[in-house]
Amino acid sequence: MNLKQYTITHPVTLAGKGLHTGEFTEITLKPAPINSGIVFQRIDLEHKPLIPALVDYVVDTSRSTVLEKDGGRVGTVEHVLSALVGCEIDNILIEIKGSEIPILDGSSAPFVEAIESAVPVEQNAIRNFYEISEAIHYKNIEKNIEIAALPLSDYRLTVMVDFNSKVVHSQHAQLHELKLYKEHISPCRTFVFVHDIEMLFRNGLIKGGDMDNAVVIAEEAIPDETLENLSGILGRKLDAGGTREGILNAETLKFQNEPARHKLLDLMGDLALVGRPLKAHILAARPGHQSNVELARLIKKQIDASETAAPAVDPNVPPVFTVQDIAQLLPHRYPFQLVDKIISLDGTTVVGVKNVTMNEPQFTGHFPENPVMPGVLQVEAIAQTGGVLVLTSTGEPERYWPYLVGIENCRFYKNVVPGDTLIIRCTLSSPIRLGVAKMTGEAWVGKTLVCSVAMTARLVKK
């Protein structure tokens, strides 16, 4: 998995009809700055609304995943999102003329090809992974659906489907490495059972569906009286000789378990709506868009809760920056280099560690019989941790001096003493502009918050 964020080098355009609306639409994938995430924009509407690819904006999951914000609606987003996850693209703007992403051939392969043709490029920011810390389960007893996200320091998916069908039997699909996505998952097409087609069409759906963008599955021979109607819907004349039970398409299945692989493709796309790349093992039995999105909501809820809790520290995981690396970034030296390692860093948040020992010079004179870490040094440690975040955001940290120019709302909640380990998190309150960075900083000992502060820093060229 990529450690740094990626976007694309230049725009690329795709066009085609929407699966459900049947309308011709055009999308253009464009490069985007670090920490932009995936954002759709309806450029055909007067106010050109932006719709972030986040579960917060899901408004429909009946037959595809639909997003809406500020009057801008975008449907069938799952295939392009799946391709972006499979290609490990973090930041991209998707301009769209129309209300639905084109279905193309019913798979995500055309999107993968477009992304590759646009030349993915590394950006100067660490990817903001979210690693599942404890198992998350979703179950729908009525539909016999179960999905779980389990802790794993990688990204894997395992899917089982069972349609109670004599044509499509129980199937499994797995993806253990993202580098296999293009070959083994992206070519797999969406599918539909003949007994669902007329119902979907009567409900105003699959107006753009045909034999070129979906696998059509017949559970039994089609009665003569329904052939003409189905021929019109599917855009292909069907005759009795070609309508016995089985796959009606001229092209055979890409894989024996293509339906299960497509369900995995959809699951990846829907989970992209968490808004961050995941480290987890996703296990899904009979998933669909509604259940996928519900799991995404539960993961997002865990993320939101973790952002107010003390960051987790695993001493077995190598740091992002060692104490020697920090010395290359910051101008501070003994006795004022107060951060020992950086354990997490992305474009908006940094987590650092400060080990408090009795050997530090301040304890000689600061309550020597009852040593307590001075509050001003706690703030300095938080500021230095934030300095790493601000300097690395420039791409050229060696060209700048970081200065702390403002402190607000500083609070100390508990004494910090030798033997404690400060876990420090700094988060940008807003994007850095004109060299000015506003941050919130917090420090914990264990799970206890000991200090919080709002800071302003300025970058000055050397």
Which sequence spans correspond to the domains of the chain? 4-186+258-306, 191-247, 323-461
Question: What amino acid occupies position 227?
Answer: L
| Mean pLDDT for the chain overall | 90
Cβ-in-10-Å burial (0-12, 13-18, 19+) of 181 comes to buried
Name the residue among 16, 178, 150, 202 with its Cα closest to residue 87: 178
d(CA 317, CA 264): 30
Question: In whole angstroms, what is the distance from residue 302 CA to residue 134 CA?
Answer: 9
266's CB contacts (< 8 A; 6+ apart) are 78, 79, 82, 287, 289, 292
323-461 topology per CATH: Thiol Ester Dehydrase; Chain A (3.10.129)
In this prediction, residue 245 carries a pLDDT of 66
- 363 has pLDDT over 70: yes
For residue 28, pLDDT over 90 is answered with yes
Question: Which sequence positions are flagged as catalytic?
Answer: 289, 366
Share of the chain above pLDDT 70, in %: 94
For the entire predicted model, the pTM comes to 0.79
Q: pLDDT-derived band of residue 231, with 50, 70 and 90 as boundaries? A: low
The rounded distance, in Å, linking the Cα atoms of 62 and 439 is 41
Which among 292, 82, 288 has a CA at the least distance from the CA of 184?
A: 82
Q: Is the separation of the CB atoms in 96 and 283 below 8 Å?
A: no
Angle between the 258-271 and 289-306 helix axes, to the nearest 10 degrees? 30
Tokens in use for 399? 């060209």
pLDDT tens-digit map of 41-51: 999 999 999 99
Structure confidence at residue 209 as a pLDDT band (50, 70, 90): confident
Residue 190 is given by DSSP the state P
Residues 6+ apart with CB under 8 A from 83: 108, 111, 112, 115, 186, 269
Instruction: Read off the amino acid at residue 414.
Output: K
- pLDDT attached to residue 229: 65
Confidence band of 244 (pLDDT split at 50, 70, 90): low
For residue 241, the model assigns a pLDDT of: 47
Cβ-proximal residues to 219 (8 Å cutoff; 6+ apart), any chain: 165, 166, 167, 193, 194, 195, 245
Domains 4-186+258-306 and 323-461 share a fold: no
Find all residues with CB under 8 Å of 176, minimum gap 6, and list them. 156
- Mean pLDDT on 213-242: 65
Q: Given pLDDT bands bounded at 50, 70 and 90, which one contains residue 306?
A: confident
Least-confidence region, from 5-14, 196-205, 239-248: 239-248
Specify the fold of 4-186+258-306: Ribosomal Protein S5; domain 2 (3.30.230)
User: pLDDT of 315-338, one tens digit each?
Assistant: 888 899 999 999 999 999 999 999
**Across 389-398, average pLDDT:** 87
Lowest pLDDT segment from 106-115, 169-178, 201-210: 201-210
8 A C-beta contact, residue 16 and residue 24? yes
Q: Which token pair is 339? A: 């951060």
pLDDT in tens, 89-147: 999 999 999 999 999 999 999 999 999 999 999 987 778 889 998 999 999 999 999 99
